[in-house]
Structure 1
Amino acid sequence: MALKVITSVGTSLITNYIKYYDEFLNDLGFEDISEEFEDIEYKIVSETDEDDLKTERKKIKSELKKWILNTKCIQWESKNDKSVDEITEKDHINKEACAEITSLIKFCELKKQDIEVNLMASDSISSHIIAELLAETLDNHKINNYTINVKYNKKHDCIKGLNIHNEAKFKNEGISNIIKQYQPIWKNTYETTYFNITGGYKGVIPIITLMGQVFNFTIFYLFENTDRIIEMPKIPMKYDEDFFEDFYNEFKDIDENGCIHKKSVKHNFLENEGVKACLEEDDGLITFSEIGQILWEKFKSKFVVFYCPDDVFEDMKDERQKKVREIILDKADNRKLWGSNVKSEDSHKTVYIYTGEKNLARIYHFFDNNLLYIYKTFGNGQHSEHETYIKKQKFDEAFKNKIIKTSKQRKEEK
């Protein structure tokens, strides 16, 4: 079984290139990219059009690709005798090109196993460019008899809010988005999942370290200027979660709105010691602290939260809808997991349809403000009822608003 390695991506690929350009790379005919890097350095992916800075991006990627594939660093551990040779060997990777490459190759050599790498880029264009390049060049690379497979998807792995230049966004969006994206990986495979913090922004390291303790996965890094991999032992954190249950609605309000006003909460809420450790106050506004955001996401991961009217909730208790309940508990907290099973039926555009093992399940649903609303379900042996329903009930804006108005929050333990 391949080890799973989530790897944070920083900018050392670019900064190393610029650092060694005058001394080595200029003589090899490479081009200077320092001005292009200045143009993109503080640009945010989610705020920049795909076609903006197209020329700069293309030049940076072209030169960095040559730095990875067509150069070899000689005596790199030496202070005075370093050199860079141009090389044309097939399947060659310059393992000194950046921290991410060096650490992943060394980790694969150490473990003597295949590794499956998920790259985690920040919300910066530079980090995104590097993640793309690492996926293009390092994927399927062989180390002795072992393989490094690399995955990167801009839509999912370029983490919105993971921005060291905006502390509020990092706290309110970045931390929770890291957890939402990668928790499905470490939740089921924590014994074989590692988080590589060698690359990436150093300000993220304490947060990832805390996540490792809370979610129980292993963290490693390449010790600076050596080839030694340091693994941080798993020390699962134990703490009392009762205050999250006691003040669930207050925490949910902070989660959904980013903050709440101090005057709007119960007096005993802010007197609880556990609550105080999870929150920060600024000018009368209450927000999550970094540790509070992580502990809250951990608490939420034990439950599935959705909204539906009372009659729909009662229907789900029917034995014929056993598969419906299983699907909701397994997938409702992750929108991506609905995937290709979501179909259209007449005016109903989002119907999760499961067929298999002689079971049938249909879940009529929609998302509003990122909240999941379920407005009708059918299970095994309910096909005729389903046919009658789609002919009789049309889905339109008025019906949608009625469902939102009559739905209640359901919090089901997984």
Structure 2
Amino acid sequence: MRELVKIITTVGSSLFTNFVSEQKRMREEYELLKDMLYCSNHCRKYKDEIDGCRNWLREYVKKNKDASAELSSIRKIAAEMLDKQVEVCLLASETMLSWISAEIIKEQLETEGYVVHFEVVSGLQVKDALRFEKEGLVNFIDRVWYFSNGGYNGVLNVTGGYKALIPYATILAQLYQMPMYYLFGDTFSAQESYPLLRFPQAPLAIDWNTFEKYASVIRDLHAGIEDWEEYKRKHNISYDFSACISTTDGKDAFLNAIGEMFYRIYQKFQLVYVLQNGPFSQDEAHRNRQILRQEIGKLISALTNYIKSNGLTKATKEEIVQRMTMPEQTDGKDAGELVHACRPGDEHFIFKAPRSGIEVRLLYSFDYDHIQEKLTKVVIYDFRVGQFNHSSYIKEFRTFYQLTVDEQIC
């Protein structure tokens, strides 16, 4: 099975501007709709004009491969991922032009065989700066996080849409370690001859101790705090993470877009333990560190989702293990890849994680706190990546676990 990758694409109005510029038509409709926010009332009131635009633009995208910056960039990115299962996620701004454009682009891509998801991002507009910051950016981050599975299965395409998004999208891509693309060229043109730029990843280090220190404060800020000055005095808060906080009137406080990015990462933050001087200290682990990091993240995500989907958030670790290893006796869902080659009574498990031609196996155990309703420890004892002996590694894992279960972890 090929690895799934979603091309998350911001949608602007280049489809309209290209059409009006080249075809010399639809100018009145364009001028009417260009500053209008998307809402059901506007859709009803201007139905005739909208339907007229749809008809013109449908024919335009069929005949013109360079009809919009979004279409050209999506095709170029997809061409670099022929070994992957590609889906497209269109994120339209809360404007009539972006909404109509995204609809037309979705229809066209579906005729080309793509699976396409499409959402209008509430608050993503440029008429109200405060709403853009407090609602639009936060919702944009939320949808990218959702569609990319926390950054693991997505690439970000910022060729279309508001240029004000690019600084935030750049930080987001760096934090979530997502590839980000931009089709370089004239703003109102979309020729496929333009080069596709991929933004490089920077070596960022995040001080997670600050987030651990202020975990409860960050959760309160995510919900919104009415009197920030009083709250700071009560909780003795310093300015360690002031860059993550915004205020409406100088009195209230909430996480800004940067804060929301970190908050989502912190929610998934999980301490992973490995054996001191064990397999993860060897050269093979260093060579495959990117693959291992991603697959350990997928293991934690799969384990967390299994617990939630089986209604086990208040269960003990023993009850979770019983459900995972004996689903037919406990009326549970098959844990599948989480318990590969597992036997009843095992205290260790094998995570089977195929990756588009690269096979990965992780030998692990975990602890779970039913009071906190969270994983408290995940221990990775050993791994296999790439070419390995499929007939012997399971026995090797079991033997290694018995020999090292009591060794020091770090």
Taking structure 2 as the reference length, the TM-score comes to: 0.61
State the distance in 1 between where 2:108 and 2:262 align.
Answer: 37
1:38 and 2:31 correspond: yes
Which residue identity is paired with 1:297? R
Corresponding residue SS for 1:220: strand
CA deviation after TM superposition for structure 1 residue 239, in Å? 1.2
Q: 1:120 to 1:356 in 2, by over 3 A?
A: farther
Partner of 2:160: 199
CA deviation after TM superposition for structure 1 residue 39, in Å? 2.9
- Residue 73 of structure 2: which of 103, 113, 116 is its match? 103
Partner of 2:337: none
Residues 1-12 of structure 1 aligned to structure 2 (within 5 Å): 1=2, 3-12=5-14
State the distance in 2 between where 1:296 and 1:188 align.
Answer: 12
State the distance in 1 between where 2:80 and 2:45 align.
Answer: 41
Q: 1:113 to 1:51 in 2, by over 3 A?
A: farther
- Residue 360 of structure 1: which of 331, 334, 339 is its match? 331
1:160 and 2:122 correspond: yes
Q: 1:134 to 1:236 in 2, by over 3 A?
A: farther
Percentage of pairs with the same residue: 24
CA deviation after TM superposition for structure 1 residue 410, in Å? 5.1
Q: 1:202 to 1:270 in 2, by over 3 A?
A: farther
Please tell me whether the aligned partners of residues 162 and 173 of structure 1 are also in contact (alpha carbons under 8 angstroms): yes
Please tell me whether the aligned partners of residues 95 and 105 of structure 1 are also in contact (alpha carbons under 8 angstroms): no
Partner of 2:315: 316
Superposed CA RMSD? 3.5
Corresponding residue SS for 1:152: strand
Q: 1:116 to 1:313 in 2, by over 3 A?
A: closer
Greater strand content:
1
State the distance in 2 between where 1:103 and 1:138 align.
Answer: 12
State the distance in 1 between where 2:260 and 2:314 align.
Answer: 35
Partner of 1:280: 246
State the distance in 1 between where 2:26 and 2:106 align.
Answer: 21
1:68 and 2:29 correspond: no
CA deviation after TM superposition for structure 1 residue 223, in Å? 1.0
Please tell me whether the aligned partners of residues 270 and 276 of structure 1 are also in contact (alpha carbons under 8 angstroms): no
Which residue identity is paired with 1:171? E
Q: 1:271 to 1:323 in 2, by over 3 A?
A: same
Q: 1:44 to 1:173 in 2, by over 3 A?
A: same
State the distance in 2 between where 1:151 and 1:131 align.
Answer: 10
Corresponding residue SS for 1:194: strand
Q: 1:359 to 1:96 in 2, by over 3 A?
A: same
Query: Deviation per CA, 1:311-356, whole angstroms, max 9, x where unpaired?
Result: x9996237446689x9xxxxxxxxxxxxxxxxxxxxxxxxxxxx96
Please tell me whether the aligned partners of residues 182 and 197 of structure 2 are also in contact (alpha carbons under 8 angstroms): yes
State the distance in 2 between where 1:243 and 1:269 align.
Answer: 15
State the distance in 1 between where 2:330 and 2:126 align.
Answer: 48
- Residue 110 of structure 2: which of 120, 133, 139 is its match? 139
Corresponding residue SS for 2:114: strand
Which range moved further: 259-268 or 248-257? 259-268
Q: 1:21 to 1:149 in 2, by over 3 A?
A: same
Q: 1:14 to 1:277 in 2, by over 3 A?
A: same
- Residue 151 of structure 1: which of 84, 107, 116 is its match? 116
State the distance in 1 between where 2:37 and 2:327 align.
Answer: 44
CA deviation after TM superposition for structure 1 residue 220, in Å? 0.7
Corresponding residue SS for 1:195: strand
State the distance in 2 between where 1:35 and 1:413 align.
Answer: 58
Query: Deviation per CA, 1:137-158, whole angstroms, max 9, x where unpaired?
Result: 12252xxxxxx614134xxx21
State the distance in 1 between where 2:260 and 2:121 align.
Answer: 16
Taking structure 1 as the reference length, the TM-score comes to: 0.61
